[in-house]
Amino acid sequence: MGDLDKIFDSMSDRSLFKNKQILQTNYSPSNIPHREKEIEQIASILAPSLLGEKPSNLFIYGVTGTGKTLSVQHVTNELMKRVKDNKILRIEYINCKLKKVADTEYRILAELIKKLGGSVPATGLPTDQVYLRFLEILENSPEKLFILVLDEVDQAVKKISDNFLYNFTRLNSELSDIQISLVGISNDVRFLEGIDPRVKSSLSEEELVFPPYNALQLQEILRKRADEAFKSKCVSEGVIAKCAAFAAREHGDARRALDLLRVAAEIAEREASSHIKIKHIDNANNKIERDKILAIIETAPKQFQLMLFSIFKLIKQNKGPIFSGDIYNYYQNLCKKVKVDILTQRRVSDILAEFDMLGLINATVISKGRQGRTREIKLSIPQNLVDKCEEILIDSLGL
C-alpha cells in the first residue's frame, strides 16, 4: 500500500493544477474582464424585473466565445440573488443547440416544462397540447415574471422556423398572472436578417452586440484564470500569448483559448513536465482538433460512416479532388458488399453537405460543362489522421 501512496502522492506533487475547474468551459468566474459595459447594459435592461415589471425582450449577438452566455448568466444570477425567495421572478436558461435535448420546438417546450417541475413525454403529444401544458404550469406558478434565456436560438430557428419565436412572443397575451420576457442569444450576426419582421420587431426590442476579443484582451482573460487555476510559476513565458494568438485567429474565441490552455496543461502534466511550454500548446491544438474529428467519426451513423469510408478510399486512390458521382458509385458497391440498403443520391447529397458543415470535408459545387455539375470534394482533416480514421471505420463497420 505504501507504494501506491507514493505514486499518488507524487502525482499530486506533480500536478500543475491548483483548481482545474476554473479552466473548464462551464466555469463561471465572478468577474468577467472586458465585458463590464455589456453586463451593465444587460443589467439595466433586465432590472425592471426586480420591481415586478416586464423587461423588454433582449437579443444578443456575437460569435462563439465572446462571453455572451457568461454575461447573461452573471446578470441573471445577480438578479436571483436580489430576489431571494421573493418569488416574483423566475429565470430559465435553455441551450437550443443541445442535440436531443432542445433542438426542436417540441423539445424546447418539453425541456422547459421539465425545468418548471412538470413532465411531458419525449414524443407523441400534439405541439399545441404541449403549449397548453406549459401555459398551465406557468399560470399556476407563484411568480409574476418569467425570463426565458434561449441560447443559440439561431440554431433552433434554422431547424424549426421562426414562428416558434413568434409563438413565444405572443404567449403573453394568453397569460394573465405572469409575463414572459425573452432573451435570445445568437452566434450568427446576420440571424435577424432572414426573419419574419413581426418576430423581429417584438423579439429585438433591445439589441446588444458582443464584439470579439482581441489578442490582448484574451491574454488578460487567460492570465487571470491561469493565476487561479495553476500552482504558481508553472506557466512558461509566452505560453499565454501563444494561446491568445491561436484563439484570436479563430475570431477571438475565449472558450477556445481556455480549452487550449487546459489541454496543454494536461499534456504537460502527463509528460511530467514542471512547466507548460509552448510546444504543449501546439500539441494541445492538434489534440483538440483530433479528438473532435475522431469523436464525430466514431459516433456517426452507419450510413455516414460508409460514406466517409468511401471518401477516404477514393481520396487515397486519386490523390486529388474527387467528385460526388464517384463517391456515390463507390458507396453503392460498398453497401452491396456490406449488405446495407443503398441510400438515394438525394440523401447522399445531403449527407455530403453535412460533412461539409462538420468540417470533415470541403465541398464546392462546380460545373464541368458538358460533364454536368458536381461537388468537388477535398478532405479537410489533416493527412496524419486519415489512417487512424480509416481504422476506426473498418472497426466499427466490421470490414
The single residue among 168, 323, 330, 331 that binds DNA, judged by CB under 7 A, is: 323
The single residue among 114, 231, 347, 378 that binds DNA, judged by CB under 7 A, is: 347
The single residue among 374, 379, 381, 389 that binds DNA, judged by CB under 7 A, is: 374
Instruction: Name which of 90 and 107 has its Cβ closer to DNA.
Output: 107
Q: Please report whether residue 398 would count as binding DNA according to CB under 7 A.
A: no
Q: Please report whether residue 336 would count as binding DNA according to CB under 7 A.
A: no
The single residue among 64, 202, 274, 349 that binds DNA, judged by CB under 7 A, is: 349
Instruction: Name which of 41 and 104 has its Cβ closer to DNA.
Output: 104
CB 16 within 8 A of CB 269: yes
Site for DNA in 86-145 (CB under 7 A): 100, 103-107, 121-127
3-state secondary structure of 373: strand
CA 8 to CA 6: how far, in whole Å? 6
Which x/- pattern, by CB under 7 A, does the window 58-97 give for DNA? ----------------------------------------
DSSP assignment, residue 252? T
Instruction: Name which of 82 and 373 has its Cβ closer to DNA.
Output: 373
The single residue among 342, 385, 386, 397 that binds DNA, judged by CB under 7 A, is: 342
CB count within 10 Å of CB 205 equals 15
The single residue among 12, 232, 371, 384 that binds DNA, judged by CB under 7 A, is: 371
Instruction: Name which of 30 and 367 has its Cβ closer to DNA.
Output: 367
Where does this chain touch DNA (CB under 7 A) — which range of 140-148, 201-209, 247-255, 371-379?
A: 371-379
Q: Please report whether residue 352 would count as binding DNA according to CB under 7 A.
A: yes
Give least dist CB 363 to DNA, A.
8
Pull the grid cell for residue 15.
500536478
The single residue among 81, 233, 339, 346 that binds DNA, judged by CB under 7 A, is: 346
The single residue among 1, 51, 272, 365 that binds DNA, judged by CB under 7 A, is: 365
The single residue among 41, 167, 274, 303 that binds DNA, judged by CB under 7 A, is: 303
The single residue among 22, 247, 343, 379 that binds DNA, judged by CB under 7 A, is: 343
Q: Please report whether residue 325 would count as binding DNA according to CB under 7 A.
A: yes
Instruction: Name which of 271 and 350 has its Cβ closer to DNA.
Output: 350
Which three-class secondary structure string do you get for the chain? Answer: CHHHHHHHHHHHHHCCECCHHHHCCCCCCCCCCCCHHHHHHHHHHHHHHHHCCCCCCEEEECCCCCCHHHHHHHHHHHHHHHHCCCCCEEEEEEECCCCCCCCCHHHHHHHHHHHCCCCCCCCCCCHHHHHHHHHHHHHHCCCCEEEEEEECHHHHHHHCCCHHHHHHHHHHHHCCCCEEEEEEEECCCCHHHHCCHHHHHHHCCEEEECCCCCHHHHHHHHHHHHHHHECCCCECCCHHHHHHHHHHHCCCCHHHHHHHHHHHHHHHHHCCCCCECHHHHHHHHHHHHHHHHHHHHHHCCHHHHHHHHHHHHHHHHHCCCEEHHHHHHHHHHHHHHHCCCCCCHHHHHHHHHHHHHHCCEEEEEEECHHHCEEEEEEECCCHHHHHHHHHHHHHHHCC
Pull the grid cell for residue 11.
502525482
The single residue among 4, 26, 370, 384 that binds DNA, judged by CB under 7 A, is: 370
The single residue among 32, 324, 379, 393 that binds DNA, judged by CB under 7 A, is: 324
Q: Please report whether residue 396 would count as binding DNA according to CB under 7 A.
A: no
CB-based burial of residue 291 (10 Å sphere; 0-12 exposed, 13-18 middle, 19+ buried)?
exposed
Total interface residues for DNA by CB under 7 A: 42
Instruction: Name which of 25 and 299 has its Cβ closer to DNA.
Output: 299
> Which amino acid is present at 344?
T
Q: Please report whether residue 320 would count as binding DNA according to CB under 7 A.
A: no
Residues lying near DNA in the complex (CB under 7 A) = 100, 103-107, 121-127, 301, 303, 323-326, 328, 341-347, 349-353, 365, 367-375
